[in-house]
Structure 1
Amino acid sequence: MALELRQQLKLAQQLIMTPQLQMAIKLLQLSRLELVDTIRQELEENPALEEIQETQTEEPKIDQTVKDTKDDSTTKEVAIEEKIQEDIDWSNYLDEYSSPGRINFESESRDTPKYEAFIASKESLSQHLLWQFLMTSPSRKEKKIGSLIIGNLNRDGYLEISVEEIARMSESDPLTVEKILSLIQTFDPVGVGARD
């Protein structure tokens, strides 16, 4: 059984149903009559809410509006810009961005890459084990058996074939294969060469 240490980064998005979003969904499903009834009911139940009465003004005649638009075109542009600035509800805007449903992630560090990252080659498990095996100064026959054993290890370091198959491929006896396998099992990383 091989012990394995991994580091994973997982990014996930979640939709958090805030009370405002729940209310908006509820209100959007209502018909016009139901919406009016709901608003009236809320006005009756909540003393903090007040109904604003809109006063209806008479619509000016078309001839008069054409003359007024020619004269007041510059003043209307300024009035529109002022109206846009008044329409922004800053408290609602800030509430959206300060809610606990939003998570801010730190940006990646902009450090320069390390020098070793460019010159160091990443060594595979089989290369690392073969290097350790060659440090034991094996004979030619042992080198062949060790190479077969290391070559038949999976990514996790488990031996995928039986000792008998390795003995048959290397044309040697199973005891010698077992001896070399025991030597490889002492190498780093711990647990390499395990069969189950």
Structure 2
Amino acid sequence: MNMGMGLFQEQTLKLVMTPELRQAITILQYSTIDLISYLREQATENPVIELQEAAGEVASAQVEKPGPEIDWKEIVGNRATGEYSPMKSDNSYNPLDFVSQGSVTLYEHLENQLGYVKGFTPLQRKIALFLIGNLDEKGYLEVTLEEASERLDAEPEEIEDVLVVLQHFDPVGVAARNLEECLLLQLQHLALDDDKIVQVVQHHLQDLADNRYQRIAEKIGCTVQDVQTMADLIRTLNPRPGAAYSTVETRYVIPDISVEKVGGEYVVLVNDIATPRLRINNFYEKMLSQQQSQNEAKQFIHDKLNAAMWLAKSLEQRRLTLLRVTQAIVEMQLDFFERGVHYLKPMTQKEIAERVGLHESTISRATSNKYVQTPRGIFELKYFFTSALSTASGESASSESVKRRIKALIEAEDRKAPLSDQKLSELLLTEGVEISRRTVAKYREELLIPSSAKRKRF
């Protein structure tokens, strides 16, 4: 074999990840809320793009007939007249505009109540504000009395007196130093703090969580039924009284697709009502046709127009892909839409990819973080992709339908003799579903259902 160095010419074919292709892939995997944010960012970076918000905020400049250099009708077909508009109507109603938002923080709520307390000295008010400022988001006190004493140069006894007053503020249980104190404050407020339930809260919370009622009954000297009654009462208390005033941002779900039943058939509609219109600023378009414009300015505007063109194409491609994928899902899961979750069929992304003629990774991006509104509720698109379990008849059953069946069996069980995982496995086998005990336990935990020992009632 002749070994040596040389120059050789060779033809190869490969896919190049261009910025336009990367943009199309990114837009495809965006949810509606993320897409709105992305379009606003693009409008900020690209002066050629103008957005007309779905709520009716009209852009300042109107789009005229495009010039010969950029043919927008060719880009978006019959839908375009110089703009890309996914809007189905001019209805400006947005239900999220009518959702109330709590603006009062826990600190403000307690400070407002402090203003009604009479007889406090200036030092005591200073202590109270210091303690209120050191509550965490759950409403618990984060500093010890000794630390507060050193910081405020006050006696620990005086700080504790102020703390006792704060612990009677609303919400009940606020300013507690631990979980036990928080629960005891709520029991005192309800006048239910008898000796036995106080012993349970102070010394047996872990046993209570593990449903070890027999051990608790032996320790405090009462019946198991009495312990269970106390456990039911304790579980009605709020272990995080300050959470109602948390400032955590609420994330809303806007369905990307709607499935409606019209005349006995299911129709798929892409929900673009919340997406703003994409327009082209006619001022920059006119600059391209002016002879006195500088070459550098023309080139800049031309590049920005091309970027806007690719953005419009990517938006249209996203819409068509979501439409095709959802239509394929509806066709395969027709029994689910007609009869309910128990008839959800096993389905994989590969099956949908073969059905619509796309790559499996495209299906994954198209269904990621997307929600569909159906006559049976709002579901994530990935909800319809479930693994298969074999049945006695040789057919397959969806794991999601099996989970629902497990939940139904547990809800109908005798609480004094709850069904074990093995018993659930045997009951499902009689219904034709072959499933192991370990799989039943896994599905039960995913449903956040405790074990049979913790579900038992006495």
The normalised TM-score by structure 1 is 0.40
Structure of higher CA gyration radius: 1
Could you say which structure has the higher strand fraction? 2
Identify which of structures 1 and 2 has the higher relative contact order when contacts are C-alpha pairs closer than 8 Å and 6+ apart.
Answer: 1
The normalised TM-score by structure 2 is 0.18
